[in-house]
Structure 1
Amino acid sequence: MEITIRKGGADDVPAIVAMLDSAVVWLNAKGITDQWGTEPWSARAKAVSRVEEIVAEGTPWIAEIDGVPAGTVTLTPHPAPYVAPAGEPEVYVHILATDGRFHGRGVGAALLAHAVEETRRQGLSLLRVDCFAGGEGRLVEYYERQGFTRTEPFTVGDWPGQVLEVRV
């Protein structure tokens, strides 16, 4: 099994939303409903619009296994609106998701390694991401295993989040 990563574009939004839908099903099957809820992204017009905006603002990347979209990440030069800018040029990870059929195959790790290389290619030294900090911090720990370090926690409504960074 080889993971290939290709640059995506606006035409990939339906595939990205489908991967997010699949990730919700996978999370819910694990009993995790407070990260992304229980409703598919595709059923929420605001969520689909947000994906379209992020893809338009940044560079989407699609990980494929045997030609099938298995995961995605979009890199932008700025964080989400609820996170303070870094005060220096940065690359920011948005919409990191793995299709539920491909969990446990290293897709997320491959996309994050690609994000590190893209940051380096752009001549920048800061890569940041934010994630759900609930669920006993499992996602925060995942990013730490990928080389990220916790910086500032935040909340949006009752949703606990954590910003992490890696220097490249």
Structure 2
Amino acid sequence: MENVITIREGGAADLPAVLGILDSAVVWLNGKGIADQWGTEPFTGHPERVAHVGRVLGEGSPWIAEVDGVPAGTLTLTPHPGSYVPPAGEPERYVRYLATGGRFHGLGVGAALLAHAVEETRRAGVPLLRVDCFAGSGGRLVEYYERQGFTRTDPFTVGDWPGQVLEMRV
């Protein structure tokens, strides 16, 4: 039987589910030997990270992907990037905190959320969808976004964390 992915609008009440997905993603990444992206500690162990995720949820439109009714992935669309990336200088939607829970990797959850983000951006009449990601680990995540239709624009660093901004015209 095929797993069914549904996407629903989230809200502040989904903060525990979003944090659970992020924590699970950290464990999954660490299991793949990737500790530089989000570290080795769960989001829920850092009050400042929990507060930041809550702020992003509150300033944007959170979306939750469910597989057979279980929260499996998340992203939040905001009208601007995080403070470490300059705004585009035109109306945009920005993908924040895209994550798939560890046991749901390989099912297309991230791709479904990104396709939904494209449709939401188009529906809002906004011409530009951007995202940033970890550019380390051989650029695997950057390549993932390129496979989803995004184009590289500006690289950046925050401390020693290498990042890449990507965009898509919708």
Q: CA deviation at 1:116?
A: 0.2
Does the residue aligned with 1:20 lie in a helix, a strand or coil? helix
- 1:20 corresponds in structure 2 to 22
Paired residues in the alignment total 168
- 1:95 corresponds in structure 2 to 97
Q: CA deviation at 1:67?
A: 0.6
Does the residue aligned with 1:71 lie in a helix, a strand or coil? strand
After superposition, give the CA deviation of every residue in 1:79-129 in whole Å (9 maximum; x if it has no partner): 000000000000000000000010000000000000000000000110000
After superposition, give the CA deviation of every residue in 1:37-73 in whole Å (9 maximum; x if it has no partner): 0000000111100000000000100000111000000
Runs of 4+, deviation exceeding 6 Å: none
TM-score scaled by length of structure 1: 0.99
Q: Gaps spanning 5+ residues in structure 1: where?
A: none
Q: CA deviation at 1:21?
A: 0.3
Q: Gaps spanning 5+ residues in structure 2: where?
A: none
Q: CA deviation at 1:7?
A: 0.2
TM-score scaled by length of structure 2: 0.98
Q: CA deviation at 1:2?
A: 1.2
Does the residue aligned with 1:163 lie in a helix, a strand or coil? strand
Q: Aligned to 2:38, which of 23, 36, 39?
A: 36
Does the residue aligned with 1:11 lie in a helix, a strand or coil? helix
- Report the residue type matching 2:39 in the other structure: G
Does the residue aligned with 1:116 lie in a helix, a strand or coil? helix
- 1:51 corresponds in structure 2 to 53
Task: Please give the residue correspondences for 1:153-164 in structure 2 after superposition, counting only pairs within 5 Å.
Answer: 153-164=155-166
Taking the aligned partners of 2:79 and 2:36, their CA distance within structure 1 comes to 28
Taking the aligned partners of 1:46 and 1:138, their CA distance within structure 2 comes to 28
Task: Please give the residue correspondences for 1:17-166 in structure 2 after superposition, counting only pairs within 5 Å.
Answer: 17-166=19-168
